[in-house]
Amino acid sequence: MSSRLRSRLIWSGRDVSAGDIASGPGPVAAAALTQTKHVQAPETVELDLPAAPRDQAIALLHVGSEVEHALMAQYLYAAYSLNSDQDSEEKRGLVKQWRSVILEIAREEMGHLATVQNVLTLIGGPLCFEREDYPIIDPELFPFPFQLEKLTKFSLGKYVLAEMPSAEAIRKLELEEEIEEIKQRVHVQGKLNIHRVGLIYDAITRMFTFGPMVEGPQEPGETKPHSYVATVDIQASSLPFQVAPGAWGLGNKEILIETAHDRNSALHAIKTVSLQGEGDRKSVV
């Protein structure tokens, strides 16, 4: 994952509730945990990059792509770390069930990765299949190091916290107790302050949302309307070069792979990935 691009992410606000935060033993990144005294505005992220909106969108899509790639490999490793050589049919059935669930999540990440490549293709951006070597330690973005490890309640709890929806969505889904239980399981007390991956997709969505064109440099202290990817940068002719859902194979027709041919379909693709993955409708299993 490009640390150079991540260093240009500017986070504002904080999507947490009031409360003290404490870290515990294990690989919990202490730098990702802070103390808060009051509730602030919902968090947003922007890319501090002096470039055209299309280039900023490409950079954000690359960050999202590398996150999906890293998560996909983690879920695959966790699924195949399970020992199916058990002493009873009941236990073998449980292992098979657990592996099936984790593999399904891994396939979802694969679909997200493919969809991001399709949106990159739509705006003529270079594809991105890069990923840093594990462990990936970035307390500015992730609450825990990204690393390959066996599937345990501890590691599963970290995955849930890393991809959990906003605090507001958790309240709407009535999952506060479940999240608190998971925090205790991974030795995190209080409120966890992380930069949710879904916020990157929110930023990409803003880049594709139609609005007034911003031209010329911004003067100090001047507030300009939000810039967006220009219509001329959106190439409908790229559709034949995008991966289609039917090409997935293995009978996994339910895997989300979205194509895009215009602004609206690009917005739909990004929002759908966000909602299924790290967005506000992600449920905790």
pLDDT at 77 over 80: yes
Instruction: Identify whether the C-beta of residue 197 lies closer than 8 Å to the C-beta of residue 67.
Output: yes
Question: How do residues 1-40 score in pLDDT, each as one tens digit?
Answer: 466 676 677 777 654 433 333 333 333 333 333 333 444 4
* pLDDT at residue 252, as a whole number: 63
**Which range has the top average pLDDT, 46-50, 211-215, 221-225?**
46-50
Give the C-alpha separation, 179 to 40, whole Å: 20
Give the C-alpha separation, 123 to 58, whole Å: 8
Mean pLDDT value across residues 131-151: 81
Mean pLDDT value across residues 133-141: 78
Q: Which of 205-209, 247-251, 272-276 has the lowest mean pLDDT?
A: 247-251
> Which residues lie closer than 8 Å to 133 by C-beta, 6 or more apart?
none
pLDDT at 156 over 90: no
pTM for the full model?
0.76
